[in-house]
Amino acid sequence: MVNETRIWNVQQDEDEGADNRVEVGLREAGRLLRAGEVVAFPTETVYGLGADARSSDAVEKVYAAKGRPADNPLIVHIAELVQLDEIAEPPDDVSARLMARYWPGPLTIVLPAKLSALSPLVTAGLATVAVRMPDHPIARRLIAAAGCPLAGPSANRSGRPSPTRAEHVVHDLAGAIAGVVDGGPTGVGLESTVVEVNDDCIYVLRPGGISAEQLHELHPRVETVAPDAATDPTAAPRSPGMKYAHYAPRGALALVAGPPERTASYIVEAAAKEAARGRRVGVLTYAENAERYAAFPGTVQVCGSLADPASTARGLYDSLRAFDEHAAELIYAEAYPEHGIGAAIMNRLRKAAAGRIHTIG
Ligand code: TXA
Ligand code: MG
């Protein structure tokens, strides 16, 4: 348990001395990481919770701060390709091409691990390690300052929506970690895509910032592993994390799919009944449909637009957290079209819904 959580503002504002402020902040954060402390940092996807991936003492603190189950392995972040050799066996051809095309970027690749170079807590007993090179200048400079590969799960309490702003990290983890590097809001807003190449096929273990369509441009065989395959012991490969409840606001979220007009009237009617019984309700919608909720009896979160899936991805976790601020007990979320990053948006909404899915005919 840490008592005081340091916050370093490393945003490149126009203030005089900004460069020096950023430099000093990264140096201090790097020093704490080298000393085995846990420091949260921005990436292009979501904030990560960094720790020296070689040190079990350090990684142990990550699991403790998050309240994360010990059988759910962590992603290891590197700044340069030369660091890969330290932690993983040489990649197969397809993985190597994925790296050349999408690194740095929101793609995590599961590779055979060099287990002696990593804390066994990072891999949670697997023979593989999930590696990613983030496309964020602050993340890369911090890894360089720490001088080691950084284990880094999303910097939220386990089960909560991932943090896309430093304030989200502070909300979940203040007092439990040594520091937060505040680089402002993240860009993509959803986590990286996790893939594993097996028998010449790219298996998508978790949809994310790089879409299946983008992977397909590079290689003809791409298969998305169904989320519930994560609990099927005969299905392989799989991602241990996918079996856990995730990304959820405190209220119960129900996913509603159907034609926009009918979906909205179903939601408004259902919410009105609940509100009449004294329950606090919320709805998650998108710009094109927002005006259908003018009479909604609770909080309305308009999260990006259907015309711009990246805008919905960027704002999704902020919207889910906003429902908590309004103490919403019941949340209705409109389904999102499932192409491109829409697949990742729906993957997160389905997880948050934990089976509460209504399809309007
Ligand atoms: O965008 C991201 O990926 C963020 C930022 C901080 O980099 N990180 C992140 O980490 O989302 P985390 O720990 O919240 O999610 C890692 C996912 C989990 O579902 C975990 O089960 C899976 O990757 N994973 C980690 N190591 C694995 C392995 N060796 N084999 C299969 N899946 C693995
Ligand atoms: Mg996470």
Q: What domains does the chain contain, in order, with CATH numbers?
A: 6-230 (3.90.870.10), 252-359 (3.40.50.11030)
β-pair type (252-257, 222-224)? unpaired
User: Could you count the other beta carbons within 10 Å of the beta carbon of residue 69?
Assistant: 13
| Three-class secondary structure of residue 214 per DSSP | helix
Question: What pLDDT, on the 0 to 100 scale, is given for residue 159?
Answer: 86
Q: Would you say residue 62 has pLDDT above 50? A: yes
Ligand 1 pocket: which of 68, 186, 191 to mutate (most atoms within 8 A of CB): 191
Distance of CA 41 to the CA centre of its chain: 13
Residue 118 Cβ inside 6 Å of ligand 1? The answer reads no
- Expressed in angstroms and rounded, the spacing between residue 153 Cα and the centre of ligand 2 is 6
Q: Is the CB of 285 under 6 A from ligand 1?
A: no
Distance in Å, CA 282 to ligand 1 centroid = 30
For residue 361, the model assigns a pLDDT of 84
Residues 80-125 have pLDDT tens digits of 999 999 999 999 999 999 999 999 999 999 999 999 999 999 999 9
Q: Return the sign of the alpha-carbon dihedral for residues 222, 226, 229, 230.
A: positive
What is the tens place of the pLDDT at every residue in 293-318? 999 999 999 999 999 999 999 999 99
Residue 156, ligand 1, Cβ within 6 A: no
Q: How far is the CA of 264 from the centre of ligand 2 (A)?
A: 31
CA 83 / ligand 1 centre spacing (Å): 18
Would the pLDDT of 45 be above 50? yes
Mean pLDDT value across residues 31-58: 98
Identify which of 74, 165, 202 to mutate to test ligand 1's pocket (most ligand atoms within 8 A of the CB).
74
State which ligand 1 atom lies nearest to the alpha carbon of 194: 23
Mean pLDDT, residues 12-30 = 90
286 has pLDDT over 50: yes
Edge-first strand listing for the sheet containing 201-206: 6-9, 179-182, 39-41, 48-52, 150-151, 75-77, 128-132, 107-112, 193-198, 201-206, 222-224
Exposure on the CB side of residue 49, measured as CA atoms within 13 A: 32
pLDDT digits (tens, 9 = 90+) for 157-214: 998 999 999 999 999 999 999 999 999 999 999 999 999 999 999 999 999 999 999 9
User: Is the minimum distance from the CB of 48 to ligand 1 under 6 angstroms?
Assistant: yes
Q: How far is the CA of 47 from the centre of ligand 2 (A)?
A: 10
Q: What pLDDT, on a 0 to 100 scale, did the predictor assign at position 233?
A: 45
Helices (H), 67-211: 84-87, 93-102, 120-123, 137-146, 166-173
CA of 155 to the centre of ligand 2 (A): 7
pLDDT category at 234 given cuts 50, 70, 90 is: very low
Residue 145 Cβ inside 6 Å of ligand 1? The answer reads: no
Determine what percent of the chain is predicted with pLDDT higher than 90.
89
Looking at the CA of residue 113, tell me the nearest atom of ligand 1.
29
Residue located via tokens 């999704």:
316
Section 323-336 average pLDDT: 97
Q: What is the mean pLDDT of residues 232-236?
A: 47
- Give me the chain's average pLDDT, please: 94
* pLDDT on residue 101: 98
- Mutate which of 108, 118, 246 for ligand 1? The one with the most ligand atoms within 8 Å of its CB, which is 108
Site to probe by mutation for ligand 1, drawn from 188, 225, 239 as the one with most ligand atoms within 8 Å of Cβ, is: 239
Is pLDDT above 60 for 221? yes
Q: Whole-structure pTM over 0.85, yes or no?
A: yes
Rounded to 5°, angle at Cα 138 from 134 and 139: 35
Query: Packing angle between helix 342-353 and helix 309-325, nearest 10 degrees?
Result: 20
Cβ(108) – ligand 1 distance below 6 Å: yes
Tell me which residue has tokens 């066996």.
89
Decide whether any atom of ligand 1 lies within 6 Å of the 111 Cβ.
no
How does DSSP assign 165-206, residue by residue?
SHHHHHHHHTTTSSEEEE--S-SS-SPPEEEEEETTEEEEEE
Q: Find out whether the beta carbon of 132 lies less than 6 Å from any atom of ligand 1.
A: yes
